[in-house]
Amino acid sequence: MSDANVRIPEEAKDRLAAIAAAEGLSLRAYLARLAETLLTPAERAERAEKALAELKSWNGYAPTAAEQRDLDGELDRRLARVAAR
């Protein structure tokens, strides 16, 4: 396994280290786990495509591109409202 140096603000490093410690992990182990659990944009797109295909086969739901944009906008509005609390 090779190591990598990543330059981030000290405050960000301290925050990540505190989160890692609270979970009983080193910063290195925490970042490795984080990297394994996050999806790349391509992986997210692939999962979304599969989910839409499953919905269509299950119940015929096949939103248009405009409907998807509207639904994405509604989700963004709801998430922003929750984040503002």
Query: pTM here?
Result: 0.61
Backbone torsions φ then ψ of 64, nearest 5 degrees = -75, 170
CA 41 to CA 63: how far, in whole Å? 21
Whether the pLDDT of residue 78 is over 90: the answer is yes
- HSE-CB at 41 with a 13 A cutoff on CA atoms is 0
Per-residue pLDDT, 1: 72
- pLDDT given for residue 70 in this prediction: 96
Q: Is the pLDDT of residue 12 over 80?
A: yes
CB 44 within 8 A of CB 52: no
pLDDT the model gives residue 42? 97
Residue 3 has a pLDDT of 85
